[in-house]
């Protein structure tokens, strides 16, 4: 399901000249569908939101490819929480695109040695 008007989004992205994608899944309860959202970090625009029954890397790769096939500008990177299925999906769908952790998850991982040392 595309949430925004294609023409308006394409104009925003053309003006930017590139996008940096963020992908995240929200699951209200275990065993229920996951709402996957792909947005552009530069504009903050939601590009795609779709529910899936699974978080398999093949399904997530298909979502990324769906977005890639619509965009008229290069993808400069992907940001996520680092979930293994997302990492695999990015490698599968966008093998030449840099993939990094969002700031929150990056700092959360960075502080672990400090927390363990002082606990």
The number of domains in the chain is 1
Tell me whether residue 40 is in a domain: yes
Residue 2's closest CA among 74, 66, 78, 65? Answer: 66
Residue 5's closest CA among 42, 45, 40, 43? Answer: 45
Mean pLDDT, range 73-90, rounded to an integer: 93
What is the C-alpha separation between 39 and 61, in angstroms, rounded? 15
Q: With cut-offs at 50, 70 and 90, classify the pLDDT of residue 70.
A: confident
The pLDDT of residue 2 is 53
Tell me whether residue 13 is in a domain: yes
More confident residue, 1 or 110: 110
Interacting residues of 75 by C-beta distance below 8 A, sequence separation 6+: 18, 19, 20, 21, 68, 94, 97
> What is the H or E stretch that residue 107 is in?
helix 103-117
**What is the CB neighbour count within 10 angstroms for residue 52?**
16
Tell me whether residue 109 is in a domain: yes
- When the pLDDT of each residue in the chain is averaged and rounded to a whole number, the result is 85
Q: For the segment 26-61, what is each residue's pLDDT rounded down to a tens digit?
A: 877 666 788 999 999 999 999 999 998 877 889 999
Tell me whether residue 67 is in a domain: yes
What is the C-alpha separation between 119 and 104, in angstroms, rounded? 21
What is the C-alpha separation between 78 and 83, in angstroms, rounded? 13
Answer whether 0.85 is exceeded by the pTM: no
Which CATH number characterizes residue 97's domain? 3.30.420.10
Tell me whether residue 95 is in a domain: yes
Tell me whether residue 1 is in a domain: no
The pLDDT of residue 53 is 82
Domain that holds residue 58: 6-117
Q: What share of the chain is helix, strand, coil (3-state, %, to 5)?
A: 40, 25, 30
Tell me whether residue 86 is in a domain: yes
């Amino acid at each position: 399901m595309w949430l925004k008007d294609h023409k308006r989004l394409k104009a925003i992205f053309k003006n930017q000249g590139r996008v940096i994608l963020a992908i995240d899944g929200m699951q209200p309860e275990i065993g229920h569908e996951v709402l996957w959202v792909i947005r552009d970090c530069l504009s903050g625009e939601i590009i795609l939101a779709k529910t899936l029954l699974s978080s398999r890397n093949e399904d997530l790769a298909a979502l990324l490819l769906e977005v890639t096939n619509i965009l008229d500008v290069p993808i400069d990177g992907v940001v996520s929480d680092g979930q293994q299925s997302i990492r695999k999906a990015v490698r599968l769908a966008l093998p030449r695109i840099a993939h990094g952790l969002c700031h929150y998850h990056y700092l959360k991982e960075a502080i672990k040695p400090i927390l363990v040392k002082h606990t």
